[in-house]
Amino acid sequence: MAYTSETWTPWKMTEKRPVKLLNRLDELDIARKAVAEAAGVTERTVYRWLSYQMEPKLTFVQVAKLCSLLDWTAQELADSYYPSDRENPISTELPGDYAPN
C-alpha cells in the first residue's frame, strides 16, 4: 500500500507524515518493530517519529543501522523524513570556505 499525505494526516496534526520513509518500509516489508530494534528504541518512539510527534535524535551508530536496514545512504534517510514542502535542516552544501570550487 503506497501512502499519501491524505492517507496519513492525523486529525490533531497539521504536519504530513514522512511518506517516502513509510513507503520504503512497506516496499521492503519492514515492520516498525524492526525499525525500533535497529535503532535501539521502543516501538512507541518509532510511532512518534513517523507521526512527527517527536524529532529523531540519533547517534551515528543508530543512523548506520537504520541505513543498513533500509539500504539507503544517510542523505536518503534524511531526505525521506522531511516532506518536500518542509525545509530539510540537513544540507548537502558546505558553508563558507569549505564549499568546493
Kindly report, residue by residue over 67-89, the tens digit of the pLDDT.
Answer: 999 999 999 999 898 766 555 55
Q: Half-sphere exposure (CA, 13 Å, Cβ side) for 65?
A: 13
Whole-number Å distance between alpha carbons of 70 and 63: 10
pLDDT digits (tens, 9 = 90+) for 28-55: 999 999 999 999 999 999 999 998 899 9
Within a 10 A sphere around the Cβ of 49, how many other Cβ atoms?
Answer: 23
Ramachandran angles phi, psi of 6, nearest 5°: -70, -35
Q: Which domains does the chain have, with CATH numbers?
A: 19-82 (1.10.260.40)
Max CA distance (Å), the chain: 47
Distance CA 56, CA 48 (A): 9
Give pTM, 2 decimals.
0.68
